[in-house]
Amino acid sequence: MTASPQVVRVPRQVPRWRDLAPFLRPRPFHWRAADRRLARCLSVDDLERAARRRVPTAVWDYVDGGSDGEHAMRRNREAFDRVELRPTAFGQVAEPEVRTSILGRPAAAPIVLAPTGYTRLSHHTGERAVAAAAAAAGLPYTLSTYATTSITDVAAAAPQGRNWFQVYLMKDRSVTLDHLAEAASQGYEALMLTIDTTVTGMKRKDKLNGFAIPPQLSLRTFAGMARHPGWVANILTTEPLRFATFPEGSHHGRWGMSNELREQAIRPADIGWLKEHWDGPVVVKGVLSVADAVTCVEAGADALVLSNHGGRQLDRAPVPLELLPAVVDAVGSRTEVFIDSGVRSGGDIAAALGLGARGVMIGRPYLYGLMVGGRQGVDATLRLLVEELRRAMCLLGTPDIAAIGPEHVRLRST
């Protein structure tokens, strides 16, 4: 016969408070609603879900949507989802160094805040809050030509920041020269020429919501705004929404005039023209082929951004992450190469670095943070991404940014 297993008995005792206390420690209570919202956000995905509840549907669709069938936007994320990070088993480090250099100057992390138009739609503090958060984090911030805060006011909000100015060339070059003069007078560090927006991509959701050219707001749009009275009150009681880098009343600053007035035949010589009129680096954004990357470098570009505009311009455009290794092979020894479009985590940043990028640019992630908590939300977003990158580097076994190489990254076929 098989003996019955013996029952293991453990001595019991009456619980004492000092034994229970470590398990009953309550989480700190946050008095501010924004603090409570942000405390629940442990990833950019969490920020996205929280942000969607903070703004009218029309605003959300403007920020979060892509062009046409949104194929490029989906493919951007699918590429990062295919990333496999490969650790060095015996190289783990406790305190990896995430600092790097960008355009020859120190940066606290390999992150640049991308230009976004109409930022004050996301939160009434807009570009001021984003620039101040970037400055506090030690990261460059890029102000859009179609910003809702002026070049001068952003500089005042982040006087110690690394402020860059994104250029949409105008057919009337005197308008662009005025932008360059104001940016130079306010201490802006670099220009970023965007070359992928000869016309504005079709966002079907914007069209349905009335964010068309010219705007045609529907009852649905007004109803969506009515469900967000705080957002409406903040917009109505602060400075009017407009393209603030243009003089008030200028036809260049009117919504609906951008396609007509913006240069629609950008040439390599325009890079040289900018360098003639700007005493500083010129970054070219919107590069989507090896040939164009080589052309930009030969024309004098100091850095490139591989970008399909976050899937907001040419639908079905190449995916920057997939293009990155070939471009780095072609021009990486001569210039700094960055990517944007789809970056949402520290793991994504590590993948881009491993495939040869100097750094990444982010847009939607910081706008989510802005929607959730204003300046504090942008602070939280940047802190989250840096913490994720640092943790990924710990587990990869890479002591610093330079140590992340192609041996640490593989793009799976499916």
Known binding positions for glyoxylate:
62, 168, 309, 312
Please enumerate, by residue number, every residue annotated as part of a binding site: 62, 115-117, 144, 166, 168, 194, 285, 307, 309, 312, 340-344, 363-364
Residues marked as binding for FMN?
A: 115-117, 144, 166, 194, 285, 307, 340-344, 363-364
Q: DSSP string covering 164-203, please?
A: EEEE--BSSHHHHHHHHHHHHHTT--EEEEE-S-SS----
Residues recorded for the chain: 414
User: What span, in angstroms and rounded, lies between the C-alpha atoms of 41 and 36?
Assistant: 9
Tokens of 393: 């580097």
C-alpha–C-alpha distance, residues 215 and 257, integer Å = 12
- Of 124, 179, 252, 309, catalytic: 309
d(CA 209, CA 219): 9
- Cα(267)–Cα(179) distance, integer angstroms: 20
Q: Can you point out the beta strands (E) in 123-188?
A: 140-143, 162-167
Residue 389 has a CB neighbour count (10 Å cut-off) of: 25
Q: Which residues pair with 83 in a beta bridge?
A: 411
Distances (CA, A) of 215 to 64, 129, 211, 274, 371: 18, 27, 5, 33, 23
- Crossing angle of helices 268-277 and 173-185, in 10° steps, is 40
Looking at the DSSP bridge assignments, the partners of residue 262 are 170
C-beta of residue 372 within 8 angstroms of C-beta of residue 231: no
Is 309 an annotated catalytic residue?
yes
Q: Locate 21 and state its tokens.
A: 């206390």
Q: Cite the active site residues.
A: 309
